[in-house]
Amino acid sequence: MEMTKMEKKKADTKNGKHPVKDLRSALELLKTIPGQYAETDVEVDPRAELSGVYRHIGAGGTVMRPTKEGPAMVFHKIKGHPDARVAIGVLASRTRVAALLDCEPQNLGKRLWECASNPIQPVLIEGDAPCQEVVHRSDEPGFDLAKLVPAPTNTPDDAGPYITLGMCYASHPDTGVSDVTIHRLCIQGKDELSIFFTPGARHIGAMAERAEELGRSLPISVSIGVDPAIEIGSCFEPPTTPLGYDELSIAGALRGEPVKLCRCLTVDQRAIANAEYVIEGEVCPGVRVQEDQNSHTGYAMPEFPGYTGPASSQCWIIKVKAVTHRLHPVMQTCIGPSEEHVSMAGIPTEASIYGMVEKAMPGRLQNVYCPSAGGGKYMAVLQFEKKTESDEGRQRQAALLAFSAFSELKHVFLVDEDVDCFDMSDVLWAMNTRFQGDTDIITIPGVRCHPLDPSNSPEYSVSIRGKGIACKTIFDCTVPFGLKETFKRARFMEVNPDIWLKN
């Protein structure tokens, strides 16, 4: 008989495993896995130094080399914050994400699609919540965001201290439906945060716009340091999760039980009950600020493509009403272009693509991978099996569906079922032996993509009409069905190598 989720948790605890329910239990699990956790008692400055250290230890992603994939890391001594710790890189490894979500690395996209299709809605708890063990109200003397929250800067050029992993939770003024997303949040003053809304790309931005039309502020909570399932689930986008879909329900499905929310103390909103920190506030209508108004560097922070983005003059303002946190809280952060972004953006994108193609042509798409080189957003590798002659050409239809599933996707590589889509050397092998540039490139010019790609601009190419417009491209590296017999890879004897490696 199959165990229930609760029985499995009890069994895991008895066997020495650490069921993950929040950031602290996630870190405890990582401690048990060789090579996945590191910590230090050497003091570090959160202003650029912390990220500078982790760049060498485990950032990976599109960070300028030298960098590498390495362990998650906890800094126990933070300059200027004697009671806080900072965790970084918790999700900066696909292997680590798989362990935290109790799933095989190659099946993460499929697992997330299953959970997005079978959501479990969050629940509100009454009474004391772990995130409210300590309360600081903005009307109290000495209240200062920068002193209460050890938000780092990634580089010396950043506009200011950034909260990079804040789960922003708000509700639509008309319908009351709620949503969670991650936004760029910069500390601007003692009780002010700037928040950047990518036009038309995030539901909370639409909620703020509607509140502004009504002349109202938008109550919002920012939960920092949460169960990694929440961080991964929050990065889904339309059409997989349309307006009105609460992505916290995906985390609920991943864990087999609802995410617990608590009532905020100073605004009419809810927050994640077991978060390490919660910032309560209101998005102000009719107010826009220059993101680097304090530093005047001209930059915001490093973004996922690997470049430092320009400071925006159109940031909205969150007027902070309170900061609450657990005793001895753990601040969680990430480096913008690191492998952490690849995990958070790429795995939900894989899920969205897999789900859309599977609905259209069941059994043909074997897997999807959004690799580090594309930051999890710009590039996808589709492993497609042509089962019959009539499947020829369907692989290209699958690529078109991938662009529909995730609008910010720029390049799709198509490979056969005998190519490991998670191994970029194998993908490039397919390109070198199963691809001809004059017949296997399909271009779709003049399509909206992502404004942070610096090549998506009229200055780069006269074919581009406006910033954020791109030429989407399909690289078909699959063998024509009629030629499959002549493209068989060399066969090796199947053996168990462990026999020869015992000593």
Give how far Cα 239 sits from Cα of 209, 350, 351, 499, Å: 20, 13, 12, 49
Kindly state the average pLDDT of the residues 266-273. Answer: 98
**What are 327's two structure tokens?**
């005793």
Q: Is the peptide bond before 105 cis (omega within 30 degrees of 0)?
A: no
| Residue 491 contacts residue 418 (beta carbons within 8 Å) | no
pLDDT at residue 198 is higher than 90: no
Q: Judging by beta carbons within 10 Å of its beta carbon (0-12, 13-18, 19+), is residue 248 exposed, middle or buried? A: buried
- Three-class SS of 168-216: EEEECCCCCCEEEEECEEEEEECCEEEEECCCCCCHHHHHHHHHHHCCC
- Tell me how far apart the alpha carbons of residues 184 and 179 are, in angstroms, rounded to a whole number: 16
Residue 215 burial (CB count, 10 A): 8
Q: Which residue has the higher pLDDT, 462 or 478?
A: 478
Q: Which of 303, 339, 350, 408 is catalytic?
A: 303
Active site residue 303: yes
pLDDT at residue 11 is higher than 60: no
Q: Give the phi and the psi of residue 109 in degrees, each rounded to 5.
A: -60, -45
| Residue 105 contacts residue 71 (beta carbons within 8 Å) | no
| Residue 348 contacts residue 112 (beta carbons within 8 Å) | yes
Residues 6 or more apart whose Cβ sits within 8 Å of residue 273: 125, 129, 130, 131, 260, 261, 262
Angle 347-360/108-117 helices, nearest 10 degrees?
Answer: 70
Cα 203 → chain centroid: 16
Angle 248-255/108-117 helices, nearest 10 degrees?
Answer: 110
**For all residues of the chain together, what is the average pLDDT?**
94
Residue type at 79?
K
Residue whose token pair is 């914050």: 81
Q: What is the pLDDT of residue 2?
A: 40
Which 8-state DSSP code applies to residue 258? P
- Tell me how far apart the alpha carbons of residues 43 and 22 are, in angstroms, rounded to a whole number: 25
In tens, the pLDDT along 398-435 reads 999 999 999 999 999 999 999 999 999 999 999 999 99
In tens, the pLDDT along 342-386 reads 999 999 999 999 999 999 999 999 999 999 999 999 999 999 999
The DSSP string of 259-314 is PEEEE-SSSS-EEETT-SEEEEEEEPTT--B-TTTTT--SEEEE-TTSSEEEPPS-
pTM score: 0.94
Which 8-state DSSP code applies to residue 155? S
Pairing of strands 308-310, 184-189: unpaired
Q: What is the pLDDT of residue 243?
A: 87
pLDDT at residue 174 is higher than 50: yes
- Three-class SS of 4-72: CHHHHHHHHHHCCCCCCCCHHHHHHHHHCCCCCEEEECCCECCECHHHHHHHHHHHCCCCCCCCCCCCE
pLDDT at residue 163 is higher than 90: yes
Closest residue by Cα to residue 103 from 343, 341, 333, 330:
343
Kindly state the average pLDDT of the residues 269-298. Answer: 98
Kindly state the average pLDDT of the residues 16-24. Answer: 83
Q: What is the pLDDT of residue 96?
A: 98
pLDDT at residue 203 is higher than 90: no
- Tell me how far apart the alpha carbons of residues 152 and 94 are, in angstroms, rounded to a whole number: 24
